[in-house]
Chains A and B, each alone.
Chain A
Amino acid sequence: MRDVAIVAFAQSNCQRDAGAQNEVELIMPVLTEVFKQTGIKSAQDVDFTCSGSCDYQQGAAFAFVAGVDALGAVPPIKESHVEMDAAWALYEAWLKIQMGHAESALLYGFGKSSPGELPIVLSQQLDPYYLAPLWVDTIAFAAMQARTMLDSGEITEADMAEVVARSRNNALANPHAQLKGDQTAADLLKEATYVSPLRLHDCCPISDGACAMIICTIEKAEEWGKPYAIIKGIDHRIETHHIGSRDLSRSVSTEIAGEAVGVKNGKVDVAELYAPFSHQEIILKKALGLGDDTVINPSGGVLAGNVMMASGLSRIGEVAMRIIRGEITRGVAHATSGPCLQQNLVTVLEAK
């Protein structure tokens, strides 16, 4: 596999409600920012553009097409879309570069979940015969997953609260975070349950926002003369939709993807893990074999702000920017999709 460089990344603030901003108005500022970082003018200056979003979130059919209005697609550009997190748009673009069909690509993800009832909207991504008609929501599945782990003694409620406390504390240094604070785990445990055994703080918030990234071949990055982080490996795996057949206390797909990209082949300075629920960070840390010498979610992670369809790409961008700023030399980023970490993408990033 050839190395691919990440040269630019930008993300909006995570806001509970972006109000009077349509998709174009959400996307355009982050596009402008990555063009500036790269020193290019527009999407005309890259070979390929790919985005990730889901129209069900805002309830606007073909919102992803409307989003293209932000690109300046005249004359026509090569463009694609995934009805997934933009981390998978990155995967598509990475493949294009591997195939030699592009030397550079623009990726962006956006999500406006505030207009709808997100947990209920997401219930409709489930099996359409057995699950969707019951309107079982994502929070319920995560809560049942947490109880499996609590019942087995693998984790305690205090372990979960520790994850949240660290996330909120780390988020104090993240200007884009929606939820931040210096509560201790003990403070958090005093709160009542929400969907028991989960407390509200165990669940990621609902956020509106967008992010964008520019990737290219190493040769192109050198030509542009910009600092970059290198994608050494990227892999994604999915587990069965028959949720009763899954061992919810493990993330087998993350284990396989992590193995495939060689997470363990070197020290991992930082890992940004897409864990929408506190106990899932513990599952992911174990699945990737991360030790205590790895700083997990220094941004605060998605418990501090979760733009559905952008947060996965943002995890990768967070790690890349730390490498570009020279703070770390090797990191891991993870993205997820589906109930109880059904599908997982793992990326290993390194400095030049």
Chain B
Amino acid sequence: MSSSAEILSQAFTLGYTYTRSTGPIVGQFLTSLRARKMVGIKASDGKVLMPPVEFDPVSAAALSEFVDVADCGVVKTWCWVKQPRKAHPSDKPFAWAMILLDGADTPMLHWIDAGDEAAMSTGMRVKVRWAEETKGLMSDINGFVPEAAALLGELKPAASDEQITGMEAPIYLTYNFTAGKATARYLQSMKKGKLVGQRCPNCRNVYIPPRGSCAACGVPTEEEVTLGNKATVESFTIVYIPIPGNPIKPPYVIANLVLDGANLSFLHLLSECKNEDVRIGMRVEALWKPEEEWGYAMENIQYFKPIDEPDVPVDQIGKLIDEGR
């Protein structure tokens, strides 16, 4: 997490580790691709669609008749990428192109390794450069190249000839998350060891962590309220399942805690007690990590632990008196 003036931001990668089922049509195309063969599908009007689709784009009829097409063809349109993005299939300048393969009636998208923009033209002939190893993915085509280009490199036989029914399709997207104004103020206070929430000017409820609005009233919140370390258990659960990447060993307790003077709970860990003794209404207190470990994070509080105070009746939780109200 970096901090410049009031802006707190954090880079992160969002991963969607999807496995997709292909169905019979896409599956057949990918199975053929793995065997370094191109197949299209016959549309209702007899035209050959490339790559194959399950349903005719015009008649909506289900399609099933595969047709062999060549692994070479003509560039119908293209663009030149001077500065490839990290996710792109080539790290040196390349062309995206719509390529009409011989025997097909619709062009398909892929990329062309032409070296230089000057080598590209609409109407030029190109051929597939097969990947050394094929897996039944679009990347089995390691781009197209101008038809006259010599292709070196050994082509290994496909590892399997089983019909493809699924594919790995992981997606990783990188972001730089920026905390909102209210969250940033809250995190800056956390770094100083203080719990600071915000009060609604309308209903007077206090929220921590604050989001910059009262969700009940729909008005901005600005007034800041410093809260203490004591809280009440509003609800809790005992976690028995290990969570990948989580250093805490199950079973452990996660609780909805309402700080004294606040009206909405947040989640935190509960420790220094027997799991079976945890109950709604139980009084607890924050245990802060040593000051030198404080960052812009809720984890500055290591966990909450029980204190020797009488339980709060259920109907009083989240309504504890705060002098300001």
Contact A244 B98 (CB under 8 A): yes
Say how far B254's CB is from chain A's closest CB, in angstroms.
19
Q: Is B7 an interface residue (CB 8 A)?
A: yes
Which residues of the partner chain B approach A141 to less than 8 Å between Cβ atoms?
A: 96
Which residues of the partner chain A approach B320 to less than 8 Å between Cβ atoms?
A: none
Within 8 A of B (CB), among A108-162: 114-117, 119-121, 123-124, 128-137, 140-141, 143-148, 151
Which residues of the partner chain A approach B85 to less than 8 Å between Cβ atoms?
A: 117, 119-120, 135, 137
B97 nearest in chain A by CB position:
A144
Contact B175 A68 (CB under 8 A): no
Say how far B75's CB is from chain A's closest CB, in angstroms.
10
Q: Is B109 an interface residue (CB 8 A)?
A: yes
Q: Is A291 an interface residue (CB 8 A)?
A: no
Roughly how many angstroms separate A37 CA and B223 CA in the complex, as a whole number? 27
Which residues of the partner chain A approach B124 to less than 8 Å between Cβ atoms?
A: none
A208 nearest in chain B by CB position:
B178
Q: Is B183 an interface residue (CB 8 A)?
A: yes
Q: Is B180 an interface residue (CB 8 A)?
A: yes
Which residues of the partner chain A approach B76 to less than 8 Å between Cβ atoms?
A: 148
Within 8 A of A (CB), among B1-50: 6-8, 12, 14, 18, 20, 22, 26, 30, 49-50
Contact B122 A115 (CB under 8 A): no
Contact B6 A144 (CB under 8 A): no
Contact A115 B167 (CB under 8 A): no
**Given A21-B181, A74-B216, A197-B79, also A133-B139 (CB < 8 A):** yes
Roughly how many angstroms separate A60 CA and B8 CA in the complex, as a whole number? 16
Say how far B88's CB is from chain A's closest CB, in angstroms.
6
Roughly how many angstroms separate A252 CA and B272 CA in the complex, as a whole number? 67
Q: Is B313 an interface residue (CB 8 A)?
A: no
Contact A59 B79 (CB under 8 A): no
Say how far A25's CB is from chain B's closest CB, in angstroms.
5
Roughly how many angstroms separate A24 CA and B182 CA in the complex, as a whole number? 10
Contact with B along A48-90 (1 / 0, CB 8 A): 0000000010111000001011111110000000000000000
Contact A245 B49 (CB under 8 A): yes
Contact B138 A140 (CB under 8 A): no
Q: Is A294 an interface residue (CB 8 A)?
A: no
Q: Is A19 an interface residue (CB 8 A)?
A: yes
Contact B215 A58 (CB under 8 A): no
A31 nearest in chain B by CB position:
B218
Contact A194 B82 (CB under 8 A): yes
Contact B176 A193 (CB under 8 A): no
Q: Is B173 an interface residue (CB 8 A)?
A: yes
Number of interface residues of A (CB under 8 A): 63
Q: Which has the most chain A C-beta neighbours within 10 Å: B14, B79, B80, B87?
A: B79
Which residues of the partner chain A approach B80 to less than 8 Å between Cβ atoms?
A: 193, 195-196
Which residues of the partner chain B approach A144 to less than 8 Å between Cβ atoms?
A: 77-79, 96-98
B22 partner, pick from A68, A72, A129, A145, beta carbons under 8 A? A129
A55 nearest in chain B by CB position:
B14
Contact B173 A59 (CB under 8 A): yes
Q: Is A42 an interface residue (CB 8 A)?
A: yes
Say how far B80's CB is from chain A's closest CB, in angstroms.
4
Which residues of the partner chain B approach A21 to less than 8 Å between Cβ atoms?
A: 180-181
**Given A130-B51, A197-B79, also A151-B98 (CB < 8 A):** no
Contact A74 B220 (CB under 8 A): no
**Given A131-B109, A147-B78, A196-B117, also A120-B173 (CB < 8 A):** yes
Within 8 A of A (CB), among B54-91: 57, 76-82, 85, 87-89
Q: Is A212 an interface residue (CB 8 A)?
A: no
Q: Is B165 an interface residue (CB 8 A)?
A: no
Contact B79 A147 (CB under 8 A): yes
Contact B57 A245 (CB under 8 A): yes
Say how far A23's CB is from chain B's closest CB, in angstroms.
8
Roughly how many angstroms separate A162 CA and B81 CA in the complex, as a whole number? 24
Contact B79 A135 (CB under 8 A): no
Which residues of the partner chain B approach A42 to less than 8 Å between Cβ atoms?
A: 217-218
Contact B213 A70 (CB under 8 A): yes
Which residues of the partner chain A approach B182 to less than 8 Å between Cβ atoms?
A: 22, 25
Say how far A10's CB is from chain B's closest CB, in angstroms.
15
- Which 4 pairs, one residue from A and one from B, show the smallest C-beta to C-beta distance? A72-B218, A22-B180, A143-B79, A244-B106
Binding site for B on A (CB under 8 A): 19-25, 28, 31, 42-43, 56, 58-60, 66, 68-74, 114-117, 119-121, 123-124, 128-137, 140-141, 143-148, 151, 193-198, 240, 242-245, 248
- For the A-B complex with A20-B6, A71-B215, A124-B171 known, give 15 more contacts whose Cβ atoms are closer than 8 Å: A25-B181, A43-B218, A58-B175, A69-B213, A74-B215, A115-B177, A117-B174, A128-B18, A129-B20, A130-B26, A134-B138, A242-B49, A243-B109, A244-B107, A245-B49
